[in-house]
Amino acid sequence: MEIDKPAGVLFDVDGTLVDTAYLHTVSWWEALRQADQEIPMAAIHRALGMGSERLLQHLLGPERDRDADDRIRYGHDSLFAEFWDRLRPLPGAAELLRACSARGLRVVLATSAAERELAALRAALLADDVIDGVTSVTDPDVQGAGPDLLAAALDHAGLDRSRVVFVGDSIWDVAAAGDLDIPCIALTCGGTGRSELAGAGAAAVFDDPAALLAGLSDSPVGTLG
Protein backbone atom coordinates (compact mmCIF):
# COMPACT_ATOMS: atom_id res chain seq x y z
CA MET A 1 0.00 0.00 0.00
CA GLU A 2 1.34 3.42 -0.98
CA ILE A 3 2.03 5.69 1.99
CA ASP A 4 0.72 9.22 1.58
CA LYS A 5 3.38 11.88 1.30
CA PRO A 6 3.45 14.39 4.15
CA ALA A 7 1.87 17.82 3.89
CA GLY A 8 4.01 20.93 3.97
CA VAL A 9 4.42 24.63 3.43
CA LEU A 10 6.92 26.10 0.99
CA PHE A 11 8.22 29.55 1.86
CA ASP A 12 9.88 32.17 -0.26
CA VAL A 13 12.43 34.00 1.90
CA ASP A 14 13.34 37.45 0.54
CA GLY A 15 10.51 39.88 1.21
CA THR A 16 8.39 37.09 2.71
CA LEU A 17 10.28 36.06 5.84
CA VAL A 18 13.21 38.49 5.84
CA ASP A 19 12.87 42.24 5.18
CA THR A 20 15.04 42.47 2.06
CA ALA A 21 12.84 43.58 -0.84
CA TYR A 22 13.98 47.19 -0.88
CA LEU A 23 17.59 46.26 -0.12
CA HIS A 24 17.55 44.12 -3.27
CA THR A 25 15.94 46.98 -5.18
CA VAL A 26 18.68 49.43 -4.20
CA SER A 27 21.42 46.85 -4.88
CA TRP A 28 20.11 46.11 -8.38
CA TRP A 29 19.64 49.84 -9.07
CA GLU A 30 23.25 50.62 -8.17
CA ALA A 31 24.65 47.58 -10.03
CA LEU A 32 22.71 48.61 -13.14
CA ARG A 33 23.79 52.24 -12.77
CA GLN A 34 27.43 51.13 -12.62
CA ALA A 35 26.82 49.34 -15.93
CA ASP A 36 25.43 52.58 -17.42
CA GLN A 37 21.84 51.36 -17.22
CA GLU A 38 19.47 53.89 -15.65
CA ILE A 39 16.43 51.89 -14.52
CA PRO A 40 13.82 53.39 -12.13
CA MET A 41 13.65 51.68 -8.77
CA ALA A 42 9.92 51.12 -9.13
CA ALA A 43 10.53 49.00 -12.25
CA ILE A 44 13.24 47.03 -10.46
CA HIS A 45 11.05 46.40 -7.44
CA ARG A 46 8.24 45.03 -9.59
CA ALA A 47 10.67 42.57 -11.20
CA LEU A 48 11.89 41.10 -7.89
CA GLY A 49 10.95 37.44 -7.63
CA MET A 50 11.68 36.64 -11.27
CA GLY A 51 15.21 35.40 -10.66
CA SER A 52 18.24 37.35 -11.88
CA GLU A 53 18.27 36.09 -15.47
CA ARG A 54 14.61 36.89 -16.12
CA LEU A 55 14.93 40.16 -14.19
CA LEU A 56 17.68 41.41 -16.49
CA GLN A 57 15.77 40.21 -19.55
CA HIS A 58 12.66 42.03 -18.32
CA LEU A 59 14.44 45.27 -17.44
CA LEU A 60 16.98 45.50 -20.28
CA GLY A 61 15.36 43.52 -23.09
CA PRO A 62 16.66 40.82 -25.43
CA GLU A 63 18.92 43.20 -27.40
CA ARG A 64 21.07 44.06 -24.37
CA ASP A 65 24.77 43.29 -24.14
CA ARG A 66 24.51 39.89 -22.47
CA ASP A 67 28.25 39.94 -21.78
CA ALA A 68 27.48 42.48 -19.05
CA ASP A 69 24.95 40.25 -17.27
CA ASP A 70 27.47 38.50 -15.04
CA ARG A 71 29.08 41.80 -14.08
CA ILE A 72 25.71 43.27 -13.14
CA ARG A 73 24.78 40.17 -11.12
CA TYR A 74 28.13 40.27 -9.34
CA GLY A 75 27.61 43.96 -8.62
CA HIS A 76 24.20 43.29 -7.12
CA ASP A 77 25.49 40.39 -5.01
CA SER A 78 28.44 42.42 -3.71
CA LEU A 79 26.27 45.40 -2.84
CA PHE A 80 23.60 43.28 -1.16
CA ALA A 81 26.29 41.45 0.87
CA GLU A 82 27.01 44.74 2.65
CA PHE A 83 23.62 44.39 4.37
CA TRP A 84 24.02 40.78 5.52
CA ASP A 85 24.89 41.53 9.13
CA ARG A 86 21.92 43.93 9.40
CA LEU A 87 19.20 41.69 7.97
CA ARG A 88 16.06 41.42 10.06
CA PRO A 89 13.15 38.98 9.97
CA LEU A 90 9.72 40.33 9.17
CA PRO A 91 7.25 40.39 12.10
CA GLY A 92 6.27 36.90 13.22
CA ALA A 93 8.46 35.08 10.68
CA ALA A 94 10.12 32.56 13.00
CA GLU A 95 6.91 32.09 14.99
CA LEU A 96 5.02 31.32 11.76
CA LEU A 97 7.53 28.63 10.79
CA ARG A 98 7.30 27.09 14.26
CA ALA A 99 3.49 27.14 14.18
CA CYS A 100 3.48 25.29 10.84
CA SER A 101 5.92 22.72 12.22
CA ALA A 102 3.79 22.28 15.35
CA ARG A 103 0.89 21.33 13.08
CA GLY A 104 2.96 18.46 11.75
CA LEU A 105 3.70 20.20 8.44
CA ARG A 106 7.07 20.13 6.75
CA VAL A 107 8.62 23.59 6.56
CA VAL A 108 10.63 24.11 3.38
CA LEU A 109 12.41 27.20 2.09
CA ALA A 110 12.54 27.82 -1.68
CA THR A 111 14.85 30.67 -2.56
CA SER A 112 16.96 32.22 -5.29
CA ALA A 113 19.68 33.05 -2.75
CA ALA A 114 23.15 31.59 -3.22
CA GLU A 115 24.85 29.63 -0.44
CA ARG A 116 26.49 32.45 1.54
CA GLU A 117 23.52 34.79 1.14
CA LEU A 118 21.21 31.99 2.24
CA ALA A 119 23.32 31.50 5.36
CA ALA A 120 22.84 35.19 6.21
CA LEU A 121 19.09 34.94 5.67
CA ARG A 122 18.85 31.86 7.90
CA ALA A 123 20.93 33.57 10.58
CA ALA A 124 18.44 36.45 10.53
CA LEU A 125 15.47 34.06 10.81
CA LEU A 126 16.80 32.05 13.76
CA ALA A 127 14.45 29.16 12.99
CA ASP A 128 16.75 26.41 11.73
CA ASP A 129 15.35 24.03 14.34
CA VAL A 130 12.03 23.78 12.43
CA ILE A 131 13.24 24.06 8.83
CA ASP A 132 12.98 20.63 7.22
CA GLY A 133 14.52 21.50 3.87
CA VAL A 134 15.97 24.26 1.71
CA THR A 135 16.10 24.42 -2.07
CA SER A 136 17.97 27.16 -3.92
CA VAL A 137 18.36 28.05 -7.59
CA THR A 138 22.07 27.25 -7.13
CA ASP A 139 21.30 23.58 -6.46
CA PRO A 140 22.62 21.46 -9.36
CA ASP A 141 19.22 20.10 -10.42
CA VAL A 142 17.35 23.43 -10.34
CA GLN A 143 16.91 25.07 -13.73
CA GLY A 144 15.95 28.51 -12.44
CA ALA A 145 13.54 30.54 -10.33
CA GLY A 146 9.77 30.21 -10.61
CA PRO A 147 7.95 26.90 -11.02
CA ASP A 148 11.21 24.98 -11.62
CA LEU A 149 12.42 26.01 -8.16
CA LEU A 150 9.14 25.05 -6.51
CA ALA A 151 9.01 21.69 -8.31
CA ALA A 152 12.56 20.92 -7.17
CA ALA A 153 11.69 21.93 -3.59
CA LEU A 154 8.75 19.50 -3.64
CA ASP A 155 10.95 16.69 -4.89
CA HIS A 156 13.74 17.37 -2.41
CA ALA A 157 11.32 17.46 0.52
CA GLY A 158 9.25 14.46 -0.61
CA LEU A 159 6.06 16.52 -0.78
CA ASP A 160 3.00 16.06 -2.97
CA ARG A 161 1.78 19.28 -4.61
CA SER A 162 -1.81 18.37 -3.68
CA ARG A 163 -0.90 18.75 0.02
CA VAL A 164 1.22 21.90 -0.12
CA VAL A 165 0.76 25.65 0.19
CA PHE A 166 3.33 28.21 -0.97
CA VAL A 167 3.87 31.52 0.84
CA GLY A 168 5.42 34.36 -1.16
CA ASP A 169 5.33 38.12 -1.62
CA SER A 170 5.31 38.88 -5.36
CA ILE A 171 3.04 38.34 -8.33
CA TRP A 172 5.81 36.14 -9.73
CA ASP A 173 5.52 33.89 -6.67
CA VAL A 174 1.78 33.64 -7.24
CA ALA A 175 2.32 32.82 -10.92
CA ALA A 176 4.93 30.15 -10.16
CA ALA A 177 2.63 28.42 -7.69
CA GLY A 178 -0.25 28.66 -10.16
CA ASP A 179 1.80 26.89 -12.82
CA LEU A 180 1.98 23.90 -10.45
CA ASP A 181 -1.62 24.21 -9.20
CA ILE A 182 -0.36 25.02 -5.71
CA PRO A 183 -2.34 27.55 -3.63
CA CYS A 184 -0.26 30.64 -2.90
CA ILE A 185 -0.68 32.78 0.19
CA ALA A 186 0.72 36.21 -0.65
CA LEU A 187 2.09 38.73 1.85
CA THR A 188 2.17 42.46 1.18
CA CYS A 189 5.32 43.02 3.29
CA GLY A 190 7.45 42.70 0.14
CA GLY A 191 5.89 45.90 -1.19
CA THR A 192 3.24 44.61 -3.62
CA GLY A 193 -0.33 45.69 -2.94
CA ARG A 194 -3.15 43.48 -1.76
CA SER A 195 -5.34 44.02 -4.83
CA GLU A 196 -2.52 43.21 -7.25
CA LEU A 197 -1.60 40.00 -5.42
CA ALA A 198 -5.25 38.94 -5.27
CA GLY A 199 -5.70 39.81 -8.93
CA ALA A 200 -2.70 37.63 -9.81
CA GLY A 201 -4.50 34.66 -8.28
CA ALA A 202 -3.35 34.50 -4.66
CA ALA A 203 -5.53 32.17 -2.60
CA ALA A 204 -5.31 34.58 0.34
CA VAL A 205 -3.44 37.80 1.13
CA PHE A 206 -2.04 38.89 4.49
CA ASP A 207 0.05 41.85 5.58
CA ASP A 208 3.03 39.91 6.93
CA PRO A 209 4.00 36.62 8.64
CA ALA A 210 2.50 37.81 11.94
CA ALA A 211 -0.88 38.43 10.28
CA LEU A 212 -0.78 35.02 8.61
CA LEU A 213 0.11 33.42 11.94
CA ALA A 214 -2.91 35.08 13.57
CA GLY A 215 -5.20 33.77 10.84
CA LEU A 216 -3.42 30.48 10.19
CA SER A 217 -6.33 28.16 10.96
CA ASP A 218 -8.62 30.00 8.53
CA SER A 219 -5.97 30.26 5.81
CA PRO A 220 -5.19 27.60 3.17
CA VAL A 221 -2.60 26.24 5.60
CA GLY A 222 -5.48 25.28 7.88
CA THR A 223 -6.75 22.80 5.29
CA LEU A 224 -3.51 20.82 5.29
CA GLY A 225 -3.15 17.80 7.48
- Domain enclosing residue 74, as ranges: 21-82
- Give 4's pLDDT tier (boundaries 50, 70, 90): confident
Instruction: Assess if residue 55 is contained within a domain.
Output: yes
Residue-wise pLDDT for 78-94, tens only, equals 999 999 999 999 999 99
Instruction: Assess if residue 142 is contained within a domain.
Output: yes
> What are the φ and ψ backbone dihedral angles of 184, each rounded to 5 degrees?
-115, 125
Model confidence, pTM: 0.94
Q: Give Cβ neighbours of residue 156 (< 8 Å, ≥ 6 apart).
A: 108, 133, 135, 139
Q: Which of 82, 110, 132 is the last residue of a domain?
A: 82
H or E element at residue 222: none
**28 and 92 fall within a common domain:** no
Distance, CA of 56 to CA of 156 (rounded, Å): 28
Given a cut of 80, whether residue 3 has pLDDT beyond it is no
> What are the φ and ψ backbone dihedral angles of 142, each rounded to 5 degrees?
-100, 125
Instruction: Assess if residue 3 is contained within a domain.
Output: no
Give the chain's domain count.
Answer: 2
- Give 108's pLDDT tier (boundaries 50, 70, 90): very high
- Give 2's pLDDT tier (boundaries 50, 70, 90): very low
**148 and 215 fall within a common domain:** yes
Task: Give the CATH number for residue 135.
Answer: 3.40.50.1000
**194 and 128 fall within a common domain:** yes
CA atoms within 13 A of residue 85's CA, in its CB half-sphere = 1
Residue-wise pLDDT for 144-195, tens only, equals 788 999 999 999 999 998 999 999 999 999 999 999 999 999 999 999 999 9
